[in-house]
Chains A and B, each alone.
Chain A
Amino acid sequence: MTDKERLDLYARTLRVRKIEEAIADLYPGQEMRCPVHLSIGQEVTAVAVCSNLKKSDYVFSNHRCHGHYLAKGGDLKRMLAEIYGKAAGCTGGFGGSMHLVDEAAGFMGAVPIVAGTIPIAVGAAFKFKMRKEKRVSVAFFGDAAVEEGVFHEAANFAALHKLPVLFVCENNLYAVYTPLRERQPEQQICGLARAHGIPSSQLHEGDLFDLSGKLRGAVAHVRSGKGPAFVEIFTYRWREHCGPGYDNNIGYRTCEEFESWKSRDPLERTAAILRKAGVLDAETEQRLEKKIAAEIGEAVKFSKAAPFPTRKDYDKRAYA
């Protein structure tokens, strides 16, 4: 990767962080009237995976979808307008934060039913194979999703038919307030995929470039037509499960655990690498932040001013 490419990748991750922080700041204003599941702390996963994808590749996601959407190139204005419930939103105000979509960017949809989009991603890969398209379909999901039967059914089918699908499990150690150890026996999640005959690897969040590099092989494998691949990436959600604040005070995880993950902030580590390499100086950092803040400010202004959907939009949407 050239310095410029590395800086660009970092900027994309910083942008996701700043956008979600802005959402957290604005949420108490009572105008974003839908659940939000922030991925602050987990952003590098989304950016590292998507840095290896093409626009024509597909991404499917879950409830914690903002990062996936933005990393795949989803439109920011339409995302914020959606969270504000506006007609200009990416679903027109029908889906909210948990149902983002931007087909033009290859972000095919997010749904909050755990594991819900895993078979859908496999189905898209099935089409790619049937039509001999060299495209990749990606399913993002959390550590809880492998507990659903539908994950295993989809993984088996994908392996059986050698489908071009990349399974990305973001293992942040919790499902809501329930730790992994209370839901799964001691085992490796990626071992489950291996048992389905899918090449699998366990990756530690590390820095962005390291992660992006490690994912390159997995995406290349999938694109080459050799079948699916599975990656389990360890990561950590900083904010509360759902909502803008923090929830370390309620007692399901310790402050020490939180602080220890936070002190290893992958975004900050990535910045440190760039600083050391002389690619990111204070002036560049300021310039990046200013640019991102301006973009967010404009998108927020746009979203707040945008009109709400009307009765007519509502009636038009019904199908059967």
Chain B
Amino acid sequence: MRNSDRKIKYSQAVNEAVSQCMESDPAVFIIGEGVPDPKGIFGTTLGLKEKFGSARVMDMPVSENGVTGIMIGAALAGMRPVMTHQRMDFMLYAMDQLLNNAAKWKYMFGGRSVPLVIRTIIGRGWGQGAQHSQNFQALFAHIPGLKVVMPATAYDAKGLLVSSIEDDGPVIFIEHRWLHDTVDYVPEEIYRVPLGKCGRPRSGDALTIISHSYMTIEALKAAGILEKEGIFADLIDLRTVKPLDLASIFRSVKRTGRLLVLDDDWKTGGVAAEIIASVAENGRLKLKKPPARITLPDVPTPTSPALSKFYYPGTKEIISKAAELLGLNNGKKLKLLSRIPANILQDVPDRSFTGPF
């Protein structure tokens, strides 16, 4: 689907969403470590300070916990803060404020909501290891009162971020570092992609593949290879992992009868587990094969490039699982796998990346 003639990067789409929301609503402002610095959060905040001034485009002390609470207070008092974290690992200091206050305020008091957006960045690779590349979507999705958004494309990044900023509750908006440089057709004017509705980048009847964020890129690569062998997968890009668009998921699974869920997070208690449980609970869905999931293994992230190949799933794992779900014979499976480009490095988005992040 082509929404515009203009192609821009995911990072620019994020930038544009913030910029247009700031133009249309003086209550919107952005704050975060490095927001006005020369690298501008991987390009996502470049130029904003020049446009809106340093009172609305702000750096902050390295005080994630306190400043999150302060932003909750500002939001309650009528502002619409967008707070950013260069890595999701850094916002763990702020768990109390987010889980106890932001998520619960409206429910506890029956009154004001907290229109706060936390923009936070996940990633993989280049030896960032145990504390610099964690993906915590499940942790936040578990908490009643938080929405969790994970765009895969530049188009969705802009539209979902506008919806998140305009939403009256707290939203955890998760960007993937490996998506920032990807390009897509993005309209210049402001637009919204609704929260809680999935996208459907490919349609087919053979099997349902559900993904979000970076794993959607891998899913698209896998779907492209399957198509060459005449196998058409139904791809569901969640866009929002909380709330889940279960109606669309059920509709697809009902048609295909085969389900594969991808999630760039640990296995136990994850988003993939939630989706599979929801499908299993639905008595009207008859699966032809047991559902499958591809996640990170339940271990912290190792740093050695040699270990990244055991850690990060990609196109190969998706094709292999899909072949299993489809009951393909080994020859057919090998033929599919042979179509994957050789020499993929698991620890970089592409070979032009020479580190560090």
Which residues of A are in contact with B by a Cβ distance under 8 Å? 28, 30, 33-36, 85-86, 89, 93-99, 111-116, 144-145, 147-150, 175-178, 182-184, 242-243, 250-252, 308-311, 313-314, 317-318
Contacts and interface: CB of A to CB of B under 8 A. Distances in A.
Please list the 6 inter-chain residue pairs (A to B) with the smallest Cβ-Cβ separation, ordered nearest first: A34-B127, A93-B304, A308-B306, A85-B304, A96-B303, A177-B37
Nearest to B305: A33
Contact of B93 (A89, A111, A148, A314): A148
A311 B306 CA distance: 9
Contacts of B37: 176-178, 252
B131 A182 contact: no
Contact of B128 (A35, A116, A145, A311): A35
A252 B357 CA distance: 19
Given A35-B357, A243-B356, A309 B307 contact: yes
Nearest to B306: A308
B62 A30 contact: no
Contacts of B61: 144, 147, 183-184
A317 B307 CA distance: 12
Contact of A317 (B93, B299, B306, B356): B299
Given A34-B303, A85-B303, 19 more contacts: A33-B347, A33-B355, A35-B357, A93-B306, A94-B307, A97-B127, A98-B129, A113-B92, A116-B131, A144-B62, A145-B62, A147-B61, A149-B66, A176-B34, A178-B33, A183-B60, A183-B62, A309-B302, A309-B307
A159 B127 CA distance: 37
A35 B126 contact: yes
A170 to B, nearest CB: 14
B42 interface: no
A94 B306 CA distance: 10
19 contacts: A30-B355, A35-B132, A35-B357, A85-B305, A93-B302, A94-B302, A95-B303, A96-B303, A98-B129, A99-B129, A113-B131, A148-B65, A150-B93, A178-B59, A183-B59, A243-B355, A308-B307, A314-B310, A318-B298
B132 A98 contact: yes
A30 B126 CA distance: 10
A176 B32 CA distance: 13
Q: Which one of B93, B126, B305, B306 has the greatest number of beta carbons of chain A within 10 Å?
A: B306
A96 B300 CA distance: 13
Given A93-B306, A93-B307, A175 B33 contact: yes
Interface of B: 33-34, 37-39, 59-66, 89-90, 92-93, 126-132, 297-300, 302-307, 310-311, 347, 354-357
Q: Is the interface of B mostly helix, strand, loop or mixed?
A: loop
B307 A95 contact: no
Nearest to A150: B93
A148 B37 CA distance: 20
A30 B347 CA distance: 12
Contact of A94 (B59, B303, B347, B354): B303
B307 A113 contact: no
A145 B93 CA distance: 13
A34 B356 contact: yes
Contacts of B132: 35, 98, 112
A91 to B, nearest CB: 8
Contacts of A144: 61-62
Contacts of A243: 355-356
A114 B306 contact: no
A35 B62 contact: no
Contact of A34 (B34, B63, B129): B129
A313 B304 CA distance: 12
Contacts of B303: 34, 85, 93-96, 99
Given A94-B304, A178-B59, A317-B299, A111 B131 contact: yes
B127 A35 contact: yes
Contacts of A34: 126-129, 303, 356
A177 B38 contact: yes
Contacts of A28: 354
A307 to B, nearest CB: 9
A12 B128 CA distance: 29
Contacts of B300: 94
A309 B127 CA distance: 14
A318 B305 CA distance: 18
B130 A250 contact: no
Given A93-B303, A145-B62, A112 B126 contact: no
A318 B310 CA distance: 13
A62 B355 CA distance: 20
B274 to A, nearest CB: 21
A303 to B, nearest CB: 12
A315 to B, nearest CB: 8
Nearest to A308: B306
Contacts of B304: 85-86, 89, 93-94, 96, 308-309
Contacts of A175: 33, 62
A177 B39 contact: yes
A111 B130 CA distance: 10
A178 B40 CA distance: 11
Contacts of A314: 299, 302, 307, 310-311
A115 B310 CA distance: 31
Contact of B354 (A30, A93, A97): A30
Contacts of A147: 61-63
Contacts of B298: 318
Contacts of A308: 304-307
